[in-house]
Each structure stands twice: as C-alpha cells, then as structure tokens.
Structure 1
Amino acid sequence: MKKSHLLFFGIITFFVLFSCDKNDNCEAIIPAEPAFNIRILDNEGNSLIGENNIYKPSEISLTRGSQIINLIFNDDNEETYITLYYPEIESGKDYQLKLNNEETDILNLELKNIEGECFDFLSVEAFYVNGIAMQFDNDSYSYIIQK
C-alpha cells in the first residue's frame, strides 16, 4: 500500500513540476505586438507620406462610421510610414483611409484569433486595399500601397 502511495505521489509531483516548467517557459516569451506598418509609395519606390509630401500625416485618418482608429506615424531613413495597431479593427469590415481631401482608400483586414499554448494572439490573414490583396514585404516589414 505504501508503494502505491509513493508511486501516486511521485506521479503527481512529476506533473506539478512539469507544468511549472511550461509556465516558466511562457513567462520568457514576449508576444508580438498586434501591429503592422503601411508604406505608401510611388512607382519609383519613393514615399508619398510626409508633411512636405502628397499625403500629410496631419490629414490622414482611418474610420468606420463614427469609429476612429488611431494611426501612428513613424520616420525612418527620411521616409514616413504608418503603424496600424489592429485589435480595434473588426475583421471583414471596410474602413475608410482618408489620405487627403480628394483621395480615400478602402481598407479591409481579415483577422484570426489563434490560440497558443502560452497566450492567444490576433493574426492578419489578409489585408485588402480597394478590394485588392496586399502582400507583406518582408524586407521592410510592411504592407506597401503603390500609388
């Protein structure tokens, strides 16, 4: 009888220790931010975003009805790009990206919640501009809208 108790206690101890290792591993993992960059370029690869350019950050907005999505503008190597945090975006819905008083594009994201061992995260399955699927550019870590 004592041997079976020891065996049972040993198995329980093993599972407790093993699950603690899994939790410790999760604490070391930092999830990726739910954001991506958008660059707007001309046919020659020049940025069209900037206060001294065609699309001024002060005029650009992203909305859906009365919902306003916060856009962050960053500069890198004399190029301005948009960082979009997408948890506020509703998957499969059209959003108006107003670039200036004359030009508005329609953005649509297909998002998927992925359950992970340590945490769940929101993934971009597809990104559309005016109904056209955009490809993620791994070199610049961004989606590029060609104008």
Structure 2
Amino acid sequence: MTHVSSPGSSLHRIMALFVTAAMTLSLSVTVTFISAKSASALCIANDFSGRWRSSDSRLSRIDVWPGEDCQLYAKAWSRCEGDASRDCSWSRRANELQSTPDRNFRFFTQGWNNATEVVQLHLKSKSRLAAWDSTDYNSGKRDSFWVQMVKDR
C-alpha cells in the first residue's frame, strides 16, 4: 500500500516546524535577557559597593564599585597634606578588591616605592565597615591601624 501525501499536509508540517522554531528562539532570547538582567542586578547589589568615609585622615575614604565583569574595584583616599578639607587619591588607578571565603571580608594591595600596603575590609552591616590598614616598609618597619567607616547615603 502506498501512502500519498497531500500538498496541504506538507505545508502544515512546515508551518508547524517554523512556529515551533520561532517559539523556541523567542523563549531562548527571553531567558538570556532575564539571566543577563539578573546577573547585572546581582553585580550592582553587592553590599561593599559605594562610598565609605571615616574621620581618620590616613584612610578618609574608600570608593568601591563593580566593573563590567562584576569584579569589585576599590580606590583609597587620605586627607590631602596641604588641604585637610579635601581627600587625595592614593593612586590614579583602581585596585581589584580580592575576595575570601568569608563573604563579608575583602582586601586590596597598594604598592608604593618604599612599601606595600594592604587594606582589609570587613563588612559589619550595610552601612558600617571596619578597615584594617597594614603597611610593610622596605626598611623592615611595619605600621597598622583600624578605621571604622560609614557608607555615604
């Protein structure tokens, strides 16, 4: 027995195939868009992000922000020597904020010509941060101090 296919049934199959492909593509684009939006929101929602201030002139401010790769970056500031009413940046470039297994703990390293400085940040709450600054000088001297910081609103 031979089966004869009518031109109408082939057209229905082709149309069904195109509709299925279009729906699959549409769903894929929607899921990708939602995933990218969620990843972006998670990147920005990090509690470390923001401007942190202290009353200590040695470490008066730390700015933390997410990069395009969602990695956190930080820039440290001290009171300017000639004008204590202003903050002066430690460097022109930002430092990558390193993470540890403890989600409330991050650190960055600043290299100087005569020392290496490490700033460790411990998130106490969404508005409070403790910063520990430790400087190892090439001469062998070591200096360290704690600073309590609050987030700018």
User: When the two structures are superposed, what TM-score results if normalisation uses the length of structure 2?
Assistant: 0.38
TM-score by length of 1: 0.39
**Higher percent of residues as helix:** 2
* Structure of greater relative contact order (alpha carbons < 8 Å, 6+ residues apart): 1
Question: Which of the two has higher C-alpha Rg?
Answer: 2
